[in-house]
Every structure is written in structure tokens, then in C-alpha cells.
Amino acid sequence: MLTGIIIPLSVFIWLYFEGKGKRKTALEIAKHLDDPSKLEELLGIFEERKKEPIDYRRNGVITIFVGIGLLLLGFVALGKVLEGVGALVSAIGLGTLIAGYLYPNTGKELTDAVENFEKK
């Protein structure tokens, strides 16, 4: 019962202390910068989020193989329920993979799709 409290709390503390050093370093550097554009560039370096869209094809392939692994584990050791879960996860991965091909998400893919449509 305590695990439900301890795990999220420890993750929160871990992320706080991990980010604390970055914030302190950025603050020290910002004190010595005169140009605001350099400050924006500095903040962009510390930004961890990706600017690129999600690649559904890659995620679909990963999910398919996780589902296959669960299916095989259920077949070998744990029974029919895990086989069903593995098949479900594989089907979700297949749907994600198909969505990645139906809906291009990178700029180059969108440009290529528009050019192919204009040629028709």
C-alpha cells in the first residue's frame, strides 16, 4: 500500500534534484550574458522535449513485437489470458503502424504527399 505513495514521491524528488543543477547552471550563465538572444539559445539547449512529431511507424513496430513477446510468454508459461493480451497488444501495434503510413507526419513526407497529389 505504501508503494503507491513511495514510488511517485521518489520519482518527483529524483526529477527535482536532476533539474536543480540545470536550473542553477542556467541561472549562473544568464547572469553573465548581455544578449537576450543568447539567453534564448541557452534555454533551447536545456529544453529536453523533442520538436519533431511522433513517428507512429516506429512505435507501431515496437508495440507489435512487445505483443508478440507477451503472446509467446503466455504460450510457453502463463496461459491463455496472456496469449490474448499479447494478441491485443500486437493488434494495437499493427493499427499504429498502419496509421503511420496513412497519416504522414514529417515535413518531408507531407511535402512529398502534396507533390504527388498535385501531379495527379
Residue 67 sits in the same domain as residue 111? yes
Q: Let me know whether 67 and 110 are in one domain.
A: yes
Residue 51 lies in a domain: no
69 & 94 share domain: yes
Report pTM.
0.46
Residue 43 has a pLDDT of 67
Span 40-64, pLDDT tens digits = 776 666 665 555 666 777 788 888 8
Number of domains into which the chain is organized:
2
pLDDT number for residue 105: 64
Which domain covers residue 40, as residue numbers?
Answer: 3-46
DSSP string across 71-92: HHHIIIII-HHHHHHHHHHHHH
Same-domain status, 81 and 102: yes
Alpha-carbon distance of 105 to 57, in angstroms, equals 10
For residue 22, CA distances in Å to 47, 72, 100, 110 come to: 10, 43, 35, 36
Give the residue from 91, 98, 102, 105 showing the smallest Cα distance to 63: 91
Within the chain, residue ranges assigned H as helices are 3-32, 36-46, 56-73, 80-102, 107-119
In a domain? residue 106: yes
